[in-house]
Structure 1
Amino acid sequence: MPFERRVRGTRGGIRMLDEARRSTILTTMGVATMAAMLGSAGASAEDKDALRDIHGQPSWVLANDDVEVAVTRLGGHMAPVTFARGATRPIRPYHISPWQEEGLADLPAAVLVPLRGDFFCLPFGGNGEAFRGERHPPHGETATEAWTFTSRERAADGAETLTVSLETRVRPGRVTKELVVRPGEPVVYTRHVVHGFAGPSTVGHHATLALPKTPRALAVSVSPFRLGMTNPSRFSDPTAGEYQSLAIDATFTDLARVPSLFRDTADADCAHFPSRPGYADLLAVVADPATLGGHPAWTAAVNTEEHWAWFSLRDAAVLPTTLFWIEDGGRHGVPWNGRNHCLGLEDICGAFADGLAASTRANALADRGVRTVHDFDATKPKEFRTIQGAVPVPATFDRVARIEFRDQGLRLVAESGTSVDVPVRHAYVMATAEASR
């Protein structure tokens, strides 16, 4: 998660959890304990808002025969997610932070409490600097506060939809989160609708995958990009027990050849992971809409050991940038302790992970013509859509070379030439209202 370079007590303006926020978290965590005490006596088949304690967090669960999704009440973090539920080896690609059931207190940022999987960030980034008097937490209240159950519905075609909502307080607004799973489709459709929240803001989806233990077992690729760039400033601070391997403020055109921080060292391969244990790095790639032909921008990761492919789809006009947060045991402060191993593949609109204030002024991406904020109008809702999915692939499927979009789905084509067809309604992410662009 990109903001961590500033999450150490109050350094860089990130506040420790205040009493009100701590109370909210403890109250939320208490839901699972109370539910366990009440047992089945307090529940029925009609309790559509029922919560389960999953990896230490009360969570709603949405499922069909193909996909099972858990989303935490606190922060709305989506994980674990199980794809190919009926397969001999179901697919569970998302990261669950290792401290989830340790009962740690006084974590340096609220978002670390439920940290897992994918979550919606508004405003995205560290937010260590106030903006017009607003003091947003890292990745915003949408990633840190308790969501409220709204509805659970099943359509005539079998589509299952879970809807939850959240009222923001730092800047008044309301966000509605919809998660949808459809029969026979190995994906999760997500839609966030923002009401109010007037003014500029960064925004993003913080998808985080678990890193395998085998070196280079996860092969990552993206749709054609017009700009590749490492973090413009130091991302990991050695004085705080953090270490990075990538050069500062360097550009690149190939994920397999990213400039290294160290002299006389070959370029870093950021297309295969894990490849540099002990480091925490950040880079960005900006999609090239001219090459997409009106189709979604995409990111893909292939686990060549477990033989599955994960992918995400988005509208590049809405979320132009994908951040790679490469955290392979490179942080040694609490709660990291050198044991966190994950890869964030985060579709965003923002200036790297620097937060709202930095993204509203001149910055390394905006100076290159990349959008880094959305303008929200109190009278016009704005929505953000993504698709994330995972499918089994043959042992010969190495790394996604391209995605071919078709009327009834898409085809993942590997560098080896092997291909896999996926039933998915990819036009969903391109149906965002013009006001959201």
Structure 2
Amino acid sequence: MKQFALGWSHGDALVLSTAAMLAECRFDLGGRDFRPFARAPWMGQVSDPAIIGHLRELGGDFACLPFGAGPPQPIGPPEWAELMGEPPLVPIHGPAGDAEWELVARTEHSVTLGLDYPADSLVRRLERRVAGRPGAPVLDSSLTIYPRRSGAVSVGLHPILRLPEARGQLRLEAEFEFGLVHPRQVGAGEAQEFTSLNHVPHRGGKIDLSHVPLGEPNFSAQLCGMRGPLRAVFLEEGAEVEIDWDRDLLPSLQIWCTDRGIEGEPWQGRYRGIGLEPIASAFDLNTQLSERPNPISRRGVATAVQLQADTPLTLSHTVSAFATGSTAAGGG
């Protein structure tokens, strides 16, 4: 594993060759350091190759293609369970989230890494660029997909913010067409759909997903048809981030919140973070499901990206940091 440090006028960051992972990022907010991304406590300590790359070095942002993790058995409401006929692909979230990427280009404030995909893959190659934006506390990232042939594939970006210690101290703001609770958390006869983060179905009642931590070990939902960027306000710190991206290509946002809720290696009940993940996918379910008609795509929200042979496609996203009440510097 190699490390690539970058710095610019308003911060510094560290990108790893493993999964092209953003391991660290510090924003300078007028002389005040702000570090909004999560960082696994085991980073740099796991060498077991049986553990997927992005879990060995679980930092603040990486890319997934295809986007999907399972589960191995059908789950949830019948309209979802009946579509889960295939086991999840290995590695989960595709080679992008597992392999060692190679250096393509590097400057003082940016790094570009590349990864060749297997010869039988729809995708020939990926290139990921991470750069600090001179003059602003903004981190710009792009993922360029070089298709081998035409077809559809699920794609996701995977920013993960840290969770404050106190319950409800990270406020989430988002506008979307409709939201769905992850099928694995929907019991027989329970509601799945919602239209506001303030009132999300959970165990026959409601929870407020606009303020995390929730007091729940694990919770996931998908915001479909995003109408603007996602804003996350660290209430006790007087600082915010805005995540903006190409919503015409990645129309949904998956929220994955885990608060010491995952056991086994390398988690061991230690990890706290909230993934705010721009996706063209049906949750993080079996990737084949996302490429076929499903309850989300049937409502006009794409769950896969359409690729054209030999025509590169670039997906961009920005993470902008600013003091509470100021104007975001970013824009995707």
TM norm structure 2: 0.87
The answer to whether residue 48 in structure 2 is matched with residue 73 in structure 1 is no
Matches within 5 A, 1:30-429: 58-84=2-28, 87=31, 89-103=32-46, 105=48, 107-126=50-69, 135-153=89-107, 160-169=109-118, 171=121, 172-198=123-149, 199-222=151-174, 224-231=175-182, 233-235=183-185, 250-261=192-203, 263=204, 266-277=205-216, 279-289=217-227, 297-393=228-324, 419-424=325-330, 426=331, 429=332
Question: Any gaps of 5 or more consecutive residues in structure 1?
Answer: 1-27, 29-57, 155-159, 236-243, 290-296, 394-418, 430-437
Letter of the structure 2 residue corresponding to residue 376 of structure 1: L
* 1:107 and 1:335 in contact (8 A); partners too: no
SS at match of 1:270: coil
1:161/1:150 CA distance change after superposition, 3 Å: same
Specify the structure having the higher radius of gyration (Cα).
1
Extract structure 1 runs of 4+ deviating beyond 4 A. Answer: 127-136
Letter of the structure 2 residue corresponding to residue 137 of structure 1: P
CA RMSD of aligned residues (A): 2.6
* 2:20 and 2:100 in contact (8 A); partners too: yes
Task: String of CA shifts for 1:366-405, please: whole Å, max 9, x gaps.
Answer: 1222100112222211110111121222xxxxxxxxxxxx
Task: String of CA shifts for 1:342-378, please: whole Å, max 9, x gaps.
Answer: 1110000001101420111222211222100112222
Identity %: 26
1:248/1:365 CA distance change after superposition, 3 Å: farther
**Number of equivalent positions:** 317
Question: Any gaps of 5 or more consecutive residues in structure 2?
Answer: 73-83
CA distance in 2, matches of 1:269, 1:107: 37
Deviation, structure 1 residue 110: 3.6
1:200/1:133 CA distance change after superposition, 3 Å: farther
Higher normalized contact order (CA 8 Å, seq sep 6+, divided by chain length): 2
CA distance in 2, matches of 1:69, 1:131: 41
1:34 maps to what in 2? none
Deviation, structure 1 residue 108: 4.7
Letter of the structure 1 residue corresponding to residue 107 of structure 2: E
1:96/1:197 CA distance change after superposition, 3 Å: farther
Letter of the structure 2 residue corresponding to residue 234 of structure 1: R
Deviation, structure 1 residue 128: 6.3
Higher helix share: 1
* 2:68 and 2:88 in contact (8 A); partners too: no
* 1:284 and 1:324 in contact (8 A); partners too: yes
CA distance in 2, matches of 1:187, 1:335: 31
Deviation, structure 1 residue 334: 2.5
CA distance in 1, matches of 2:50, 2:247: 34
